[in-house]
Structure 1
């Protein structure tokens, strides 16, 4: 009798494992390519996605989604992977990565690295990213792809199909009210991008505020399934006070496999283009929030966003001008 029960138990276990195995290899839905406008050429291009099959599996397969919820979104998984990218053995990944994503290494200071994270957080050469120094302009804080919204109080305001919730994002009711009818700029950094971020304008700067959260991917392939990711992931923000732009919130959002966000700035005053910090391994996002009637975002960024496309930008490029004359 006992043997029969044991056989039945093992039979059930094997059946469940078989079902899981079948689901794990269930055909994945075809994904539409990620298109964006190249700001320099004006061309509509297709983004090459790092670990695309893995991302599609995580966000579109039942077993993948279970793995995402139980493991991948957790801090310890990103921390473990981040530690792996700090090891000398990770250097073997560098050259294939450079070749796969056609990274121009001539603009970076170092050419030899001690780990993949050392490469990933590489510094750029002086003048490789010219900064628009006009006092009435604000610039992109990072290399990446931009979505821009002039008025987030607009009833039609959405980010990739999701109504961006300022209160959830900032976790501060007073600040949320202050920026509820302001402007929003989102700069998404892909893994192949330069991963240091810089202040978009000059001014006095506050201390850094941290909000704990998860570590979902911020890639559009993930956002198609979970558009509220920006308000769920770990994030940090700082306020920069400028004579013509007022109080601008600059926030960094973590993502899957981002080992950490490291703030490198010091003091209580910064200049436009000064380094603020860097992301360790993984793509991530920088978010800028402006008060109402403070910024006139460049037309091409608004137009492309309205059409549903991101626009590629470089750190230091102008993205808008002040609506207030100094």
Structure 2
């Protein structure tokens, strides 16, 4: 059972997990763990399933998914019958009214839909995966020089469930460098898996980018793939002006994670998010909503 905090309702809710029984079996039973290490975490497994989800035949999965997880298709650009495949539905675009962007340039906005942890004054060598499991930023991005920039800074971990909107966006206007890719495995990023696999974020396929923002300093974006995520697709133009709220990219099928790192004293995260994180609960957030503010003196 995964409990998270709904900021709007100011109450705790239970997450409805896609494939929860299979996840529990895979990461807890001896046979499941054996298959995980032998087959499931491999690129080939995710690539084959991704191939199927890109085909028209996979459209039959959409209706059941929408019904089981109460997906609101009034917010999407395409209608139900217009999706060419399950993947086309999965990384669906939303219409312009679905996610209003906070207009105050000094407000730190959520960079996607999902469940958020926030940590300030971070120790680069002891970043929290879940209680009891840590990893280092150097291991995550394989770049010691870049990692040092974010010592004592702020870390935001946004977990995107398979039921969530799967595009991620820029928090501010600015310039973004080209993305660096790191090969890896395809473990699930669900809390069930995070409690079983040490340094999971450092094991999985991932990409990272430096974003030179106008109001929050240099920001490190890290996108982490997961089981059945065939691709992390970057859609932004590198080294060209970016506007606040612009799309950065999207994930193909599967649960995924986007992690942001800020330099020390550049942002102040909203207290309710920090408090819930300290209690061990993620906060449910939507793209464009305020989650903090700039802490840069002007």
Q: Confirm or deny: 8 A CA contact 1:166 1:180 kept in the other structure.
A: no
How far off is 1:159 after superposition?
2.8
Contact 1:122–1:194 at 8 Å: present in 2 too? Answer: yes
- Whether the 8 Å CA contact 2:127–2:137 is kept in 1: the answer is no
The alpha-carbon deviation at position 154 of structure 1 amounts to 8.8
1:206-221 to 2 correspondences below 5 Å: 206-221=177-192
Q: Deviations over 1:287-320 (max 9, x none)?
A: 1000111110111110000000000000111111
Q: 2:203 aligns with which of 196, 207, 232?
A: 232
Q: Runs of 5+ in structure 2 lacking a partner?
A: none
Structure 2 counterpart of 1:319: 291
Q: What SS does the corresponding residue of 2:130 show, helix, strand or coil? A: coil
Aligned Cα root-mean-square deviation (Å): 1.4
CA distance in 1, matches of 2:226, 2:95: 26
How far is the alpha carbon of 1:158 from its aligned partner?
A: 2.6
Aligned partner of 1:295 in structure 2 is 267
Q: CA deviation at 1:164?
A: 3.1
| Residues 208, 221 of structure 2: 8 Å contact kept | yes
TM-superposed deviation, 1:224: 1.2
TM-score, normalized by length of structure 1? 0.87
2:273 maps to 1:305: no
Matches within 5 A, 1:1-326: 33-111=1-79, 112-153=82-123, 158-161=128-131, 162-267=133-238, 268-326=240-298
Matched residue SS, 1:175: helix
TM-score normalized by the length of structure 2: 0.95
Q: What SS does the corresponding residue of 1:179 show, helix, strand or coil?
A: coil
Moved over 4 A (4+): 154-157
Q: Is the 8 A contact 2:124 2:138 kept in 1?
A: no
Say how many residue pairs are matched.
294
| Structure with greater proportional strand content | 2
- Contact 1:203–1:242 (CA<8 Å) still a contact in 2? yes
Q: How many Å separate the matches in 1 of 2:258 and 2:287?
A: 12
